[in-house]
Amino acid sequence: MKIAICTTNYSVYSETFIKAQVDLLPASLVLHSGWLPTQFNNGISIQNRFQFSLRMFFQEVLKINLFTLETSIGRLLKKNKIDLVLAQYGPGGAAMLSVCNKYRIPLVVHFHGFDASDTSIIEQNAASYCEMFDYAKAIIAVSSMMKKKLIDLGCPQEKIHHITYGPNDIFFKNNPTYLSHTFFGIGRFVNKKAPYLTILAFKELSNEYPDARLKIAGEGELLNTCRNITKAFKIEDKVTFLGVINPEQIRIEMENALAFVQHSVVADSGDSEGTPVAVLEAQAAALPVIATIHAGIPDVVVEGKTGFLVPETDIYAMKEAMKKILNNRSLAKEMGSAGRHRIRNNFTMEMYIDKLKKALYVDE
């Protein structure tokens, strides 16, 4: 089977799950740059300049849709004898629906988080989602909460495959000592990740444990706000912002940390997580996880056994959980070991790709 993977961005540091699909699935084409992709593989334009100019002329001057991008995408798929399109995110699947329908190419849509939760995204795509659910061969949900949301949106339950991501295998190589005073977190600095709440919880902890440290990797719109919070509370010497780091750097930071922290919340827009890959990676790295009761996190973190889960926005509960880990290093080791064991037995990258393949090949 020849598969075309469609994604908005060809290389985004936070979308490790899409890179894994490109690397581990038999993908013949990678279409990218926009919900309706404009490029393929290593940045080759789907329409050349002449085709693009003709399209613009007919649309703007003659008000006729000729030489459309959809037609060019369809011809590219047919030329490469693509058997199936795997579209990333709900809007990406909705954008590819007309192409797949016209050229009779099966479509599988992989939902990841905001695409099944953000109110504005759902409202904008309500009609096309229903058509997409009807046409699609399969729909991928990464958490039990997401599966429920997709059913509520009108997706037939029998089409939904609940497939949780897997971590990069390099994290299983970690050998933490649990002697550190450092808590580690990673993720985009956006509302649903709420890094400022992690920082505020740490601030409460540092009042009692002045030797405690927090390192957070990533970038985003809330980064400067978070920096200012550390300055306002005079803890900038205890909180380190690492910026964007690669998987090997993440592995090293996790090996030198005591625990992983993430305070995910439902944003005002409704946007929420799918199942955070970093939570899976941290457990594979044998770290206890301190996170919130949010979206797919309770699917992969067992409260009191592989980590602690606290209510959203409760920074004092998060502070108490961090305190328990600092005060009991044997508990940290026990939780870390239990987390690694559970990930190895239930959520490896190999398992993720195998389940994904079965969903793609269903009825074949």
Q: Is there a single domain that holds both residue 19 and residue 113?
A: yes
Predicted pLDDT of residue 12: 60
Q: Is there a single domain that holds both residue 123 and residue 179?
A: no
**For residues 177, 178, 184 and 186, what is the CA-based torsion angle, rounded to 10 degrees?**
60
Q: Is there a single domain that holds both residue 204 and residue 337?
A: yes
Q: Alpha-carbon torsion 160, 164, 166, 172, what sign?
A: negative
Predicted pLDDT of residue 65: 62
CB count, 10 Å around CB of 13? 15
**Is residue 122's pLDDT more than 60?**
yes
Which among 198, 252, 262 has a CA at the least distance from the CA of 225? 198
Range of the domain at 40: 3-165+348-361
Q: Are 11 and 39 in contact (CB under 8 A)?
A: no
CB under 8 A, 24+ apart: contacts of 157-161 = 159/133, 161/355, 161/358, 161/359
Q: Is there a single domain that holds both residue 254 and residue 125?
A: no
Q: Is there a single domain that holds both residue 178 and residue 322?
A: yes
Q: Is there a single domain that holds both residue 301 and residue 157?
A: no
Helix (H, G, I), strand (E, B) or coil at 48: coil
| Residues paired with 140 in a beta bridge | 110, 161
Distance of CA 307 to the CA centre of its chain: 20
Please report, for the domain that includes residue 137, its CATH number. 3.40.50.2000
**For residues 152, 156, 159 and 163, what is the CA-based torsion angle, rounded to 10 degrees?**
20
Contacts of 70 (CB under 8 A, 6+ apart): 36, 98, 99, 102
- Mean per-residue pLDDT over the chain, rounded: 93
Q: Is there a single domain that holds both residue 183 and residue 330?
A: yes
CB count, 10 Å around CB of 268? 9
**Is residue 321's pLDDT more than 60?**
yes
Query: What mean pLDDT comes out for the span 13-23?
Result: 78
Query: What mean pLDDT comes out for the span 319-336?
Result: 98
Q: What digits encode the pLDDT tens for the residues 202-247?
A: 999 999 999 999 999 999 999 999 999 999 999 999 999 999 999 9
Helix (H, G, I), strand (E, B) or coil at 127: helix
**Count of domains forming the chain:** 2
Q: Is there a single domain that holds both residue 97 and residue 181?
A: no
- Rounded CA gap, 306 and 52, in Å? 53
Q: Are 82 and 105 in contact (CB under 8 A)?
A: yes
Q: What digits encode the pLDDT tens for the residues 280-292?
A: 999 999 999 999 9
Q: Are 103 and 74 in contact (CB under 8 A)?
A: yes
